[in-house]
Structure 1
Amino acid sequence: MNTNPEFPAEEPANLKFLRRLVTTLTATMIVGLVVMITLLVIRLNSATPDLALPEYIELPDGTRTTAFTQAPTWYAVVTADDRILIFNRDSGQLTQEISVNSRP
């Protein structure tokens, strides 16, 4: 054993391997995290101009809305009287009406 402080003892080979392994894994995790954050930012910043909200929606008289959803070719309005009204995105015309019986 080396007791001279001017010449530190050489560390064992398995400790060198472990130190390099931990350093490599840390660097890999940091790079992976940066890549994931970058991809998330790119994905969230991508615009979807096809899904712009319609300027107005003509609903049947006395209809009260509770929800709205849309897709590239249609949009739907859920009404308070348990109906789903599906409209064509291009023409704005009501194309389908679905009655939802939510009460037993």
Structure 2
Amino acid sequence: MSQTPDPDEQLPEPTNLRFLRLLVTVLTGVMIAGLLAILAMIVIQYRTTRVPLPEIITLPDGTTATAYTQGSDWYAVVTADDEILIFDRASGEIRQRIAVESRP
């Protein structure tokens, strides 16, 4: 007699292996759903309406802009002279000047 199992004979699958296969399948589904949720949140975040840029920004004479940022009712320009100029969005007038001090 031969000790080799018959290739046509179906052996029952061990319980631990069946549980592991189910666990891997469920975890794969959860990972795919999580990835899709993250991508959806990124797309939704970038589709939100943003405040439009002002058409014209009038800077004081001799001032050069190096950076720009904006809020809901204001926008700010950082100048080459290490100064931040905060403008009112509605009127275009300077609300505040902030001197940026350099550290030693």
Please classify the TM superposition score into its range, dividing by the shorter chain length: 0.7 to 0.9
Indicate the percent of aligned positions where both proteins have the same amino acid: 53
Q: TM-score, normalised by structure 2?
A: 0.88
Deviations 1:26-49 (A, max 9, x none): 11111111121122112212222x
Tell me, which stretches of 5 or more residues in structure 1 are unaligned?
Answer: none
- Stretches of 4+ aligned residues off by more than 4 angstroms: none
Query: Aligned partners of 1:103 and 1:6: how far apart in 2?
Result: 81
Mapping for residues 59-98 of structure 1, pairs under 5 Å: 59-98=59-98
Q: Is the 8 A contact 1:2 1:9 kept in 2?
A: no
Tell me, which stretches of 5 or more residues in structure 2 are unaligned?
Answer: none
Q: What amino acid is aligned across from residue 40 of structure 1 in structure 2?
A: I
Q: Give the superposed CA RMSD.
A: 1.7
Q: TM-score, normalised by structure 1?
A: 0.88
Residue in structure 2 matching 1:12, options 11, 14, 36: 14
Shift of 1:101: 1.8
Residue in structure 2 matching 1:29, options 9, 28, 31: 31
1:8 to 1:2, Cα distance in 2 relative to 1, 3 A = farther
Query: Aligned partners of 1:103 and 1:63: how far apart in 2?
Result: 22
Query: Aligned partners of 1:52 and 1:45: how far apart in 2?
Result: 14
Deviations 1:19-68 (A, max 9, x none): 111111111111111121122112212222xx211111121111111111
